[in-house]
Amino acid sequence: MGKIFDIQRMSVHDGPGIRTTVFLKGCPLRCLWCHNPESQSFDTVIGYNPEKCVRCGDCAQICSAHTVLEGAHRFDRSLCTACGKCADLCFNHAMLASGYEMNADDVIREVLKDRTFYKTTGGGVTFSGGEPLSQPRFLSELLSKAKAVGLHTVVDTSGFGKRETILEIAPYTDLFLWDLKESSEEKHLAYTGVSSLPIQENLRLVNALGAAVILRCPIIPGLNDREDHLEGIATTVAEFSCIRAVNIMAFHKLGDGKYTAFDMKNRTLDIPAMQKSEAKRIAEVLRKKIAEKTDRPIPVEV
Ligand code: SF4
Ligand code: SF4
């Protein structure tokens, strides 16, 4: 049994082909630019979207955390125990519960519904998060069951987890989508809340194990869109032969509404979304830097 917060079918950005992405709940990192802030807590969290609320008052009938008076809806978080009943009830999805328990067999059964698409497109299942390495037993069970039914498997990770977890899951993982968020240790700590050193050690380990990795690099204007960070990415690509490609993940604002709904502080509210042209420019700079350091052909995509 493990905790997830979403299962997304027909994903086309989480590995090859058409995939189903299973999002595991909970993450030890606190990236400033996180676009899934509701995934951070290992507990179920409740969100409220006033724009979807039609003030019908149904939720107030079942829970004292809600009051609907004179056409206004008030949600008192201090009275909420995150039971999720209002989210189940609210027909307009104004209330959201992020986090529910599922066993591995049920997850795989859900994933297999789109098996035909995986076969025709070379897709499969991706385990993302949150940070999937933070539920090691559940992740390992999911991966081994996915492989047992012949699915292509991807783990989308920050790389922050225990060495034993990597050793356990690597044989069942066809591809890692591995984040490289910041090359400077000092800045990595400031931007993500954790050291980059165990992540580098784990990357060394997956490299030694002969795993396949696509490096994913979130680029945030004014934070890590620096020349020295791009140099750091290129150095990492040259050092680790497991890296097959680099994806530039241009900063976007799609997560902003979630900070409001889940009543969380958005620390990148003032940073504008990165323009496509700027992301392309950065990709070109990176291609040149990589070519200077290795003869391996490494696609850099935006
Ligand atoms: S049930 Fe949903 S739509 Fe109705 S008042 Fe409550 S939050 Fe708003
Ligand atoms: S999640 Fe449960 S406790 Fe919280 S507001 Fe909804 S019904 Fe009330």
Q: pLDDT at position 286, please? A: 98
Q: How far is the CA of 44 from the centre of ligand 1 (A)?
A: 19
The string of pLDDT tens digits covering residues 232-258 is 999 999 999 999 999 999 999 999 999
Tell which atom from ligand 1 comes closest to the C-alpha of 93: 2
Ligand 2: lining residues by beta carbon, under 6 Å: 46, 62-63, 65, 80-86
Tell which atom from ligand 1 comes closest to the C-alpha of 91: 2
Show the tokens assigned to 29: 């990192």
3-class secondary structure, 157: strand
Q: pLDDT at position 46, please? A: 98
Q: pLDDT at position 107, please? A: 98
Tell which atom from ligand 1 comes closest to the C-alpha of 92: 3
The string of pLDDT tens digits covering residues 11-50 is 999 999 999 999 999 999 999 999 999 999 999 999 999 9
Q: pLDDT at position 90, please? A: 98
Residue owning tokens 């507990």: 43
Cβ–Cβ under 8 Å, residues 134 and 20: no
Give the C-alpha separation, 229 to 181, whole Å.
Answer: 9
The segments of the chain whose pLDDT lies below 70 read none
Based on its alpha-carbon atoms, the radius of gyration of the chain, rounded to whole angstroms, reads 20
- In order of their start, the domains of the chain are 2-42+102-301 (3.20.20.70), 45-98 (3.30.70.20)
Cβ–Cβ under 8 Å, residues 47 and 258: yes
